[in-house]
Structure 1
Amino acid sequence: MNRYKYRDGLESERLKTRFLQLADVDVWEEFYTREENSKYLLNLGGSTPKENARLAVERQLKRYKQKTYGLQALIEKSSGQLIGQCGVLSQDVNGRLELEVGYQLFNNYWGMGYATEAAQLFRDYGFKELSAESIISIIDVENLPSQRVAERNGMKCAEQIKYMGFDVFVYRITKPEWEKL
């Protein structure tokens, strides 16, 4: 991986990205009130949805500062609305430094292809701009929608591991596999 040239302002057909800001906490609060979301999220230690939203945004701001990439706000071009987040993350997986594409969308934008579009945007960015040799997605074994996104992103399930207390699949795509897409 080529360190460090992470930027925002990426664009796909329907989306554009920007780095998260503390002002985004209010928008993210509702995401943390929904049980169907929280079962797949790392417990950040907040006692309220607003506190968890703040901790989640601060976590990304810390990643930007520490140059370990981070999730970015996804903005729907047609409405200008923040609809979720996606990005690349530097992850230690069983002692290996990996580049992960991670994504979360607000529930009312599920099933519209936005997660796949965003994941492909950052997958391509990882290979083209960050010189990654492979890219992964770490997905809870029960999170079937995210597994389907990874598969549409050209990834294959490479292994099942325990990660941060979760049973997860590690989906992977290598640069040669990506070049064939």
Structure 2
Amino acid sequence: MIETERLYLRELQQSDIGSLSKILQDDQTMYAYEGAFDDKEVQDWLDKQLANYRRDGFGLWAVILKETEEMIGQCGLTWQNFDSKPVLEIGYLFQRAFWHKGYAIEAARACKKYAFEEVKAEEVFSIIRDTNTASQKVAARNSMTFRGEVMKYYREVEMLHYVYAVQK
């Protein structure tokens, strides 16, 4: 679907459940969600992405490392709420073994281009937990600037998130 120098981004499939579990069931990776997911939550996450593809034509995609054909993360577009309206968000989540190698920014830039050129978005956002400085740096490197704050609730925990955005 989307190709970069080192990566392919494509729709998730049921057969990706094992690779998806490596991400979503890692406590350190999932600290922004208050901990790792159980098997049902992983399946629910996958089902949500499949529903997003059917409804919107996009969602969080599997990020495949060309060199090994391994799924190393997810990156894509989803609808989120900010300032009482839906906004198009670039989200990303990678296996810990692939952090700090430039894959997140490579995939996020490709998603930004897709959002502007294919979806015809005028503006895209990234909404990131206040403690997730690595993801905040990815947003900044993706030409996004700080636009505000929003409270989100995961697992009955209130969490501050920073909102970044860039216009076409």
What is the TM-score normalised by the length of structure 2?
A: 0.90
Q: How does 1:1-181 map to 2 (within 5 A)?
A: 9-41=1-33, 48=38, 50-67=39-56, 69-164=58-153, 165-175=158-168
Letter paired with 1:107: R
| Count of matched residue positions in the alignment of Structure 1 and Structure 2 | 164
RMSD (Å) for aligned C-alpha atoms:
1.8
Higher percent of residues as strand: 2
Distance in 1 between residues matched to 2:113 and 2:51, nearest whole Å: 24
Query: What secondary structure sits across from 2:5 in the alignment?
Result: coil
Provide structure 2 residue ranges, at least 5 long, that are not aligned to the other structure: none
Distance in 1 between residues matched to 2:35 and 2:119, nearest whole Å: 29
Provide structure 1 residue ranges, at least 5 long, that are not aligned to the other structure: 1-8, 176-181
Distance in 2 between residues matched to 1:12 and 1:31, nearest whole Å: 21
* Contact 2:19/2:72 (8 A) holds in 1: no
Q: Bigger shift: 62-71 or 163-172?
A: 62-71
Query: What secondary structure sits across from 1:55 in the alignment?
Result: helix
Q: % of aligned pairs identical?
A: 32
What is the TM-score normalised by the length of structure 1?
A: 0.84
